[in-house]
Amino acid sequence: MEQLYTKDTQAIFWNNNKTAIQRMLDYDYTIQRKTPSVAAIVAPTSGNKFEKFFYGPDEVMIPLFKTTAAAKAAQPQADVLLNFASFRTAYDVTMEALEIGGFSSMMITAEGIPERLARKMNQTAREKGVIIIGPATVGAITPGAFKVANIGGTITNIVNSKLHRAGSCGLVTRSGGLFNELSNIIAINADGIAEGVAIGGDRFVGSVFIDNMLRMEKNPAVKYMILLGEVGGTEEYKVIDAIKSGAITKPVIAWCIGTIAKYYDSGVQFGHAGASANADSETAEYKNKAMAEAGIHVPASFNELPAMINKVFTDLKLADIPEPEMSVCPTVRSSKEFICTISDDRGDEATYAGFPISSVATPDTGKGIGDVVSLLWFKKQYPKWATDFIETVIKTVADHGPAVSGAHNAKVTARAGKSVVESLVTGLLTIGPRFGGAIDGAAEHFKYAEDNGLDPKAFLNHMKKLGIPIPGIGHRIKSLKNPDLRVTGLMNYAAENFPSTPLLDYARTVEALTTSKKENLILNVDGTIGILMVDMWRALGYSEEEINEFIASGTLNSFFILGRTIGFIGHVLDEKRLAMPMYRHPMTDILYDVQVAEEIK
């Protein structure tokens, strides 16, 4: 790997750290990336499915997942993990991600991970060839391509420090704060940086100076390197060795901060856990001297570093870097209250999931109601066998005569003088677990039984324990002797057109048992629809989780609601056409059993 990140790099961000993620997206917009640099967020305790962020003036939705595994499965191209877990969980998060695989680098921000665990984590990553940046870091940046979280600060600071486009310096520091300071100095005295990494302030960090500098040596965009070390540790000596052995040939400028230590009797401990000298060779003074002796450009003091950068850079006589076009993030932005992911009416013609209405509306398009449902309900173009099945269902449940609960209610309401919509809604409100609304329940319980390998008897016992009739089983008038031909029709369609019908096959074994007890305990039309829809979705490649979500959100009952709306409207119009008077139920049809109310004292 020559370059840590590219303009296509995408990350999985562990922890919904909104400010840091927004800064990444502001950066992306400014440098005109095609895709946001954060592809997914892992938020283990959130019940939400996405988080909204600004992308320039607009907003984008970044999906949330409860686990790293789920995020990685959904966004396999995202090969950077930005681990913003606390020091208590950061180790586990990293180790789990290393186990999942598919990451080229991981950045760990937490400070204070126990050193024993940090060493184990770094070692495991090294064995798997994964670059670790941190712990205790603000991260890294490949200007003009990808920036980790808060590195470089605000977008104004980033542009001022020329971090919006690649320069020619490879920068490695321990400290994040000084990384920003150095970027600014480099922008003023040279042409910016090509890649920069703050390796982190803990004693045991993953990738050390030499790892990053050897990569930069191979990166043609890096023309020279700057190393900003600090008191403590011996990592600078590995760089000296690499220069001596010829592994690093590009000019290196370096400075170790902490030279003030010589003025104290007892040494100094800076803010970083690693910033304290355990031996003379770990002092800043000593390391600066050794680096200068190895031919590294070491200034006499930090104050002279800018001039030295300017000199080394000028001597390289590099061509000027053209300033790229940038987009400007508006300073005032307002978040949208509503989200729509199914249709769009902003153009000349409204679209259904991206398809202009005219492309699906007329017969010559070859599209039917099944296609419109698949676009507007599922945001997918289902194959013909599936859209035809949806249409078959809608047509099949459109009506079942005036006597059924919902039609009866719609008729009574229409006769009370109510409008079409009021009467229709009354009918629709009748749809429920006993009438027409058993489809979701049927799918849920039969799927549960099949998923858990329950044989029909065990399933019946299970339902008995739950204390509810099996949704999708039983009918008031249909039975083995008087079969429901709608059910036969749906089953025949499935047999001819579905790739397979495993859940229906299972349901029929249950039906064999229930009808052996009572002949009207057939698999009814609701049950058949619910079960076949699960078979359809499985054949269409949906995951079990997605199917469970469809069921839980009431998608299946919606097919009955949609179809039966046709019939209810028919009954209401029938009442109006016939100008039927108000209905009063015959008293002879009511059993009156009214006692005189007892008085409670």
Q: Which residue has the tokens 């052995």?
A: 245
Give the one entry of ligand ACO, ligand LMR, none that residue 370 binds, where binding means its C-beta sits below a cut-off of 5 to 8 angstroms depending on kind: none
Nearer to ligand LMR among residue 33 and residue 400 (C-beta): 400
Interface with ligand ACO includes 470 (CB under 6 A)? Answer: yes
Nearer to ligand LMR among residue 147 and residue 400 (C-beta): 400
Query: Which stretch in 244-252, 259-267, 329-337, 463-471 sits in contact with ligand ACO by CB under 6 A?
Result: 463-471
Q: Which residue has the tokens 């542009």?
A: 159
Q: Closest Cα partner for 212 from 162, 115, 286, 139?
A: 139
Nearer to ligand ACO among residue 481 and residue 577 (C-beta): 481
The nearest distance, CB 584 to ligand LMR, in angstroms, is 23
Interface with ligand ACO includes 473 (CB under 6 A)? Answer: yes
Q: Cα dihedral angle (455, 456, 460, 465), rounded to 10 degrees?
A: 10
3-state secondary structure of 356: strand
In whole angstroms, what is the distance from residue 78 CA to residue 49 CA? 18
Q: Answer whether 572's CB lies under 8 Å from 580's CB.
A: no
Nearer to ligand LMR among residue 400 and residue 411 (C-beta): 400
Number of shown-chain residues binding ligand ACO (CB under 6 A): 19
The nearest distance, CB 574 to ligand ACO, in angstroms, is 20
Q: Closest Cα partner for 300 from 285, 318, 278, 310?
A: 285
Half-sphere exposure of 412 (CA within 13 A, CB side): 12
The nearest distance, CB 424 to ligand ACO, in angstroms, is 17
In the set 310, 520, 548, 558, which binds ligand ACO (CB under 6 A)? Answer: 520
Nearer to ligand LMR among residue 119 and residue 395 (C-beta): 395
Give the one entry of ligand LMR, ligand ACO, none that residue 533 binds, where binding means its C-beta sits below a cut-off of 5 to 8 angstroms depending on kind: none
Find how far residue 449's CA is from the centre of its chain: 30
Nearer to ligand LMR among residue 37 and residue 409 (C-beta): 409
In the set 475, 490, 511, 528, which binds ligand ACO (CB under 6 A)? Answer: 475
* DSSP summary character for residue 319: P
In whole angstroms, what is the distance from residue 544 CA to residue 541 CA? 9
Interface with ligand ACO includes 530 (CB under 6 A)? Answer: no
Parallel, antiparallel, or unpaired for β 50-55 and 58-65? Answer: antiparallel
Interface with ligand ACO includes 524 (CB under 6 A)? Answer: yes
Angle between helix 384-396 and helix 485-497 axes, rounded to 10 deg:
180
Give the one entry of ligand ACO, ligand LMR, none that residue 472 binds, where binding means its C-beta sits below a cut-off of 5 to 8 angstroms depending on kind: ligand ACO
Sheet with 58-65: list strands edge to edge: 50-55, 58-65, 38-42, 11-14, 80-83, 105-108, 131-133
Interface with ligand ACO includes 518 (CB under 6 A)? Answer: yes
Sign of the torsion angle spanned by Cα atoms 166, 171, 173, 179: negative
Interface with ligand ACO includes 42 (CB under 6 A)? Answer: no
* The residue type at 63: P
Q: Answer whether 245's CB lies under 8 Å from 299's CB.
A: no
* DSSP summary character for residue 228: E
Catalytic-labelled residue, pool 164, 272, 445, 475:
272
The nearest distance, CB 592 to ligand ACO, in angstroms, is 23
Nearer to ligand ACO among residue 88 and residue 518 (C-beta): 518
Buried-exposed string 105-116: b where 16+ CB fall within 10 A, e elsewhere: bbbbbbbebeee
Nearer to ligand ACO among residue 128 and residue 518 (C-beta): 518
Binders of ligand ACO among 191-210, rule CB under 6 A?
none
Contacts with ligand ACO, 112-141, as mask; x by CB under 6 A: ------------------------------
In the set 435, 448, 493, 542, which binds ligand ACO (CB under 6 A)? Answer: 435
The residues near 523 (Cβ < 8 Å, ≥ 6 apart) are 472, 473, 487, 507, 508, 510, 511, 531
Query: Which stretch in 89-97, 233-241, 331-339, 469-477 sits in contact with ligand ACO by CB under 6 A?
Result: 469-477
The nearest distance, CB 449 to ligand LMR, in angstroms, is 23
Q: Which residue has the tokens 């499915």?
A: 49
Interface with ligand ACO includes 567 (CB under 6 A)? Answer: no
Runs of H (alpha helix) within 498-589: 502-517, 525-539, 544-552, 555-577
Q: Kindly state the helix (H) or strand (E) to which residue 140 belongs, with its residue range.
A: strand 139-142
Residue showing the smallest CB distance to ligand ACO in the complex: 474
Interface with ligand ACO includes 41 (CB under 6 A)? Answer: no
In the set 311, 395, 408, 434, which binds ligand ACO (CB under 6 A)? Answer: 434
Binders of ligand ACO among 343-382, rule CB under 6 A?
none
Please say if 462 is a catalytic residue: no
The residue ranges that bind ligand LMR (CB under 6 A) are 400, 404, 436, 476, 525
Nearer to ligand ACO among residue 218 and residue 464 (C-beta): 464
Return residues touching ligand ACO (CB under 6 A): 434-436, 438, 469-476, 518, 520-521, 524-527
Kindly list the catalytic residues.
Answer: 272
